[in-house]
């Protein structure tokens, strides 16, 4: 037995003091009232007979003292918070680390998942620990780390709040070496586990088929034609047949029934030419599959549509060539004199020209220093800069992706005020490439403050890429980003995230990205300035799906110690003290004790 609140010496001293004080008080209590009676002759006989009658009569005088001392000592020990490990389990700090890797969702032979077993085990651990034990509930995915609490209910609530999710596994560190660490896992996708951690295994071999790859890509021969690459793996211990289905909201349907050997994968590329586009889904159906999360995968098939672009120029071979070579562009050319806004166009490219009224569709304006009149929707040139060089550019902006502007030479460029535009690239003196500043205030535009004729930019390899990036930024659909379930990062600042059900998903904005939690696979959408970026969130992780491959062999399962008392010992001591107090009160007033 140990004492959690007081030192053994303090407990001893307190016990001695309490005993002495109670005995002293007991004798003080026996101050009797004097009463004259006619004769004590008969009383003497009665008392003498009573004293002779039994040992009990002698004992009961001291019984009150004994009861009082017992009550006092019970209270002293209660204050000292004793711990008897055999009765209440050991008290201390316990960290319960729950393996929240997706493989924990594998269903076992009893119909319950490994996760459910793990939760039961954790609850048993909480119940069997000492009542004064402080628990810290942590997971391996970094989603949850509770503060230490001695409230078993709170600890269980924390355990209930956890859910398996895909995230790089990590084992949390404990603050001190005295903390007892329990790790509950199936041993499949686990981080490095410290030697001191006690492990509880929830593992049983199961069957599992998984979609380990699903992506859409353009065909090399026809950029507007797409194909889907699917890989299905059998992580079970026997060969089985499975049915692969690829479907979309439209008429596109593909079905394939295959047999896959144990520990083998099936790979196939499917032609999606009959698919209209939009979200598509791949599923597999296998008998007795234990893990459902990896049986479904999503991606996005861009709509098959060319961008109708009107190039307004007096003649620019570079631009025309770059646009004509872009397989996503349906180009038409017009002279500035003949410019009329046509709703059929998807975007405009103005070369040494800018209309007085901003077009309703996005526009790429190339050069504003030569004869471009001042228009209200574009920055007004306030001079020229001779031989500017690209000193900085924003790699993260979609227009500037994959561009290298180091050796671009420019003869002269218009100087504009950088304060009202989004500067994409600039020299030390002026922005050289700028974009529309305020989201939602008219259509997008990208502006080159220099003329292509006064620069060697058109002959650089970055030029067609720049043009394509600009037109893509103007609204061309893109392939979906591929992410796994769990914490998802999107390289778009302050984007609004919509889940597969169309409802907004809470997200957190960082300097260069937006982060949200995708608990379930599905097609998520990040919306920024009216632009949509699809995010295909799938499990698709061989490590998680390989549910029959425990990394560690932990041997026999370690059972947590059972405890007999639910509360700490002090609770029962205090209860006993109160009970005895009531008993003493009752016996005293009934004159059973004196």
Partner 1 sequence: MPLFDDEFRKKLEYLSIISKRVFAGHFRAERRATRRGTGVEFADYRQYVPGDDFRHLDWKAYLRLNKLILRLFEEEEDLPIYFFIDSSQSMTYGNPVKLDYARRVAAALAYIGLANLDRAYMAVYAEKIRAELPPQRGKGRIFKVFRFLEDVTAGGETNARESFKTYCTDARRRGLAVVISDFMDPAGFQAGLDILRHFRHDIFVIHVASHEEVEPVLKGELVLVDSESNVSREITVTPALLTDYRTEFKHYCDEFEAYCSKYQLGYVRTVTDFPFEDLVLKVFRQGRFLK
Interface residues with partner 1 (CB under 8 A) are 30-47, 49-50, 590-592, 594
- Residue 41 Cβ, how far from partner 1 at the closest point, in Å? 5
Q: Nearest CA to 480 among 405, 534, 408?
A: 534
Cβ distance to partner 1 smaller for residue 21 or 30: 30
Cβ distance to partner 1 smaller for residue 10 or 583: 583
Q: Are 163 and 114 in contact (CB under 8 A)?
A: no
Cβ distance to partner 1 smaller for residue 37 or 344: 37
- Residue 581 Cβ, how far from partner 1 at the closest point, in Å? 20
Q: Are 439 and 529 in contact (CB under 8 A)?
A: yes
- Residue 38 Cβ, how far from partner 1 at the closest point, in Å? 4
- Residue 21 Cβ, how far from partner 1 at the closest point, in Å? 20
Provide DSSP, 422-442.
Answer: EEEEE-SSSEEEEE--STTSS
Cβ distance to partner 1 smaller for residue 50 or 409: 50
SS3 sequence, 228-270? EEEEEEECCCCCEEEEEEEEECCCCEEEEEEEECCCCEEEEEE
- Residue 22 Cβ, how far from partner 1 at the closest point, in Å? 18
- Residue 564 Cβ, how far from partner 1 at the closest point, in Å? 40
Q: Are 467 and 364 in contact (CB under 8 A)?
A: yes
Q: Nearest CA to 122 among 162, 90, 87?
A: 162
Cβ distance to partner 1 smaller for residue 39 or 553: 39
User: For residue 489, what is the enclosing H or E element?
Assistant: strand 486-490
Cβ distance to partner 1 smaller for residue 49 or 559: 49
- Residue 590 Cβ, how far from partner 1 at the closest point, in Å? 8
- Residue 25 Cβ, how far from partner 1 at the closest point, in Å? 14
β-pairing verdict for 296-301 and 253-260: unpaired
Cβ distance to partner 1 smaller for residue 45 or 305: 45
CA distance 374 to 447: 14
Task: Give the tokens for residue 296.
Answer: 């479904």
Give the helix ranges, DSSP H, for 402-502: 462-473
- Residue 57 Cβ, how far from partner 1 at the closest point, in Å? 10
The helix/strand/coil state of 158 is: helix
Cβ distance to partner 1 smaller for residue 54 or 420: 54
CA distance 380 to 242: 64
Q: Nearest CA to 345 among 465, 471, 530?
A: 471
CA 139 to centroid of chain Cα atoms: 11
Cβ distance to partner 1 smaller for residue 40 or 225: 40
Task: Give the tokens for residue 354.
Answer: 């800018």
How many residues make up the chain in this entry?
594
**Sign, CA torsion 66/69/75/78:** negative
């Amino acid at each position: 037995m140990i004492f959690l609140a007081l030192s053994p010496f303090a407990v001893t001293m307190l016990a001695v003091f309490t005993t002495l004080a109670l005995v002293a008080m007991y004798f003080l209590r026996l101050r009797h009232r004097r009463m004259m009676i006619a004769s004590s002759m008969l009383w003497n006989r009665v008392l003498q007979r009573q004293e002779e009658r039994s040992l009990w009569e002698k004992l009961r005088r001291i019984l009150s003292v004994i009861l009082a001392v017992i009550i006092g000592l019970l209270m002293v020990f209660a204050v000292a918070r004793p711990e008897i490990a055999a009765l209440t389990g050991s008290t201390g700090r316990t960290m319960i680390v729950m393996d929240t890797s997706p493989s924990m969702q594998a269903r076992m032979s009893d119909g319950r998942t490994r996760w459910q077993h793990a939760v039961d085990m954790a609850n048993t651990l909480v119940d069997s620990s000492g009542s004064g034990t402080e628990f810290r509930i942590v997971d391996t995915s970094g989603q949850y780390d509770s503060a230490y609490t001695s409230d078993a209910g709170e600890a269980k609530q924390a355990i209930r709040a956890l859910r398996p999710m895909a995230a790089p596994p990590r084992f949390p560190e404990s603050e001190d070496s005295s903390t007892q660490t329990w790790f509950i896992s199936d041993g499949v996708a686990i981080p490095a586990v410290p030697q001191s951690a006690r492990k509880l295994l929830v593992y049983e071999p199961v069957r599992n088929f998984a979609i380990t790859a699903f992506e859409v890509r353009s065909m090399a021969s026809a950029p507007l034609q797409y194909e889907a690459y699917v890989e299905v793996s059998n992580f079970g211990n026997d060969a089985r047949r499975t049915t692969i289905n690829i479907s979309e909201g439209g008429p596109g349907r593909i079905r394939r029934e295959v047999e896959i050997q144990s520990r083998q994968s099936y790979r196939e590329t499917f032609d999606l030419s009959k698919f209209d586009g939009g979200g598509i889904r791949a599923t597999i159906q296998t008998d007795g599959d234990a893990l459902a999360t990896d049986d479904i995968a999503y991606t996005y098939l861009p709509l098959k549509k060319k961008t109708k672009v009107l190039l307004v120029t007096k003649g620019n071979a570079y631009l025309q060539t770059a646009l004509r070579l872009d397989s996503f562009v349906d180009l038409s050319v017009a002279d500035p004199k003949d410019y009329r806004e046509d709703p059929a166009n998807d975007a405009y490219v103005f070369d040494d020209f800018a209309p007085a009224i901003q077009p309703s569709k996005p526009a790429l304006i190339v050069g504003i220093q030569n004869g471009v009149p001042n228009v209200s929707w574009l920055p007004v040139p306030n001079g020229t800069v001779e031989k500017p060089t690209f000193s900085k550019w924003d790699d993260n902006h979609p227009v500037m992706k994959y561009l290298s502007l180091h050796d671009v030479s420019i003869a002269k460029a218009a100087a504009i005020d950088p304060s009202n535009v989004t500067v994409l690239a600039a020299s030390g003196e002026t922005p050289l490439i700028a974009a529309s500043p305020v989201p939602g205030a008219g259509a997008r535009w990208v502006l080159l403050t220099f003329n292509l004729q006064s620069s060697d930019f058109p002959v650089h390899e970055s030029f067609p890429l720049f043009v394509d990036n600009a037109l893509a930024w103007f609204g061309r659909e893109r392939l979906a980003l591929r992410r796994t379930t769990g914490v998802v990062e999107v390289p778009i600042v302050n984007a609004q995230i919509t889940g597969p059900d169309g409802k907004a998903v809470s997200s957190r904005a960082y300097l260069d990205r937006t982060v949200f939690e995708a608990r379930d696979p599905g097609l998520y959408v990040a919306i920024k300035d009216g632009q949509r970026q699809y995010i295909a969130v799938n499990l698709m992780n061989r490590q998680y799906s390989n549910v029959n491959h425990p990394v560690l062999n932990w041997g026999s399962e370690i059972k947590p110690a059972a405890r007999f008392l639910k509360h700490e010992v002090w609770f029962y001591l205090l209860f006993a003290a109160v009970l005895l107090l009531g008993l003493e009160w009752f016996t005293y007033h009934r004159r059973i004790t004196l």
